[in-house]
Amino acid sequence: MSSPVPSADGRPQPLLGPLTSAAVFLVVTVEPGGETVARELLAGLAGQKRAFGFLHPDGGLSCVAGVGARAWDRLFGAPRPAALEPFRELAGPRHHAVSTPGDLLFHIRANRPDLCFALTAEIMKGLRGSATVQDEVHAFAYYDARNLLGFVDGTENPVGHEAADAALVGDEDPDFRGGSYAVVQKYLHDVDAWERLPVETQEKVIGRTKATNVELDAPGSHKDVNTVIGPDGTEQHILRAAMPFGRPGHGEFGTYFIAYARDPRVTNTMLERMFLGTPISGPDPLLDYSRAVTGTRFFVPSADFLRAIPGDGGQPSSSFFSSSE
pLDDT at 74: 97
pLDDT at 277: 94
Could you list the pLDDT tens digit for every one of the 325 residues in the chain? Answer: 434 443 445 899 999 998 999 999 999 999 999 999 999 999 999 999 999 888 898 999 999 999 999 999 999 999 999 999 999 999 999 999 999 999 999 999 999 999 999 999 999 999 999 999 999 999 999 998 999 999 999 888 999 999 999 999 999 999 999 999 999 999 999 999 999 999 999 999 999 999 999 999 999 999 999 999 988 899 999 999 999 999 999 999 999 999 999 999 999 999 999 999 988 889 999 999 999 999 999 999 999 999 999 754 444 433 333 333 3
pLDDT at 317: 39
Q: Which long-range contacts (CB under 8 A, 24 or more apart) does 49-53 make?
A: 49/119, 50/321, 50/325, 51/321, 52/115, 52/118, 52/119, 52/122, 53/110, 53/115
| DSSP-assigned beta bridge partners for residue 65 | 106
pLDDT at 311: 58
CB 40 within 8 A of CB 319: yes
CB 110 within 8 A of CB 60: yes
Q: How far apart are CA 9 and CA 6, in angstroms?
A: 8
Give every CB contact of residue 43 below 8 A, 6+ residues apart in sequence. Answer: 306, 307, 309, 311, 316, 317, 319, 320, 322
Q: What positions carry a catalytic annotation?
A: 153
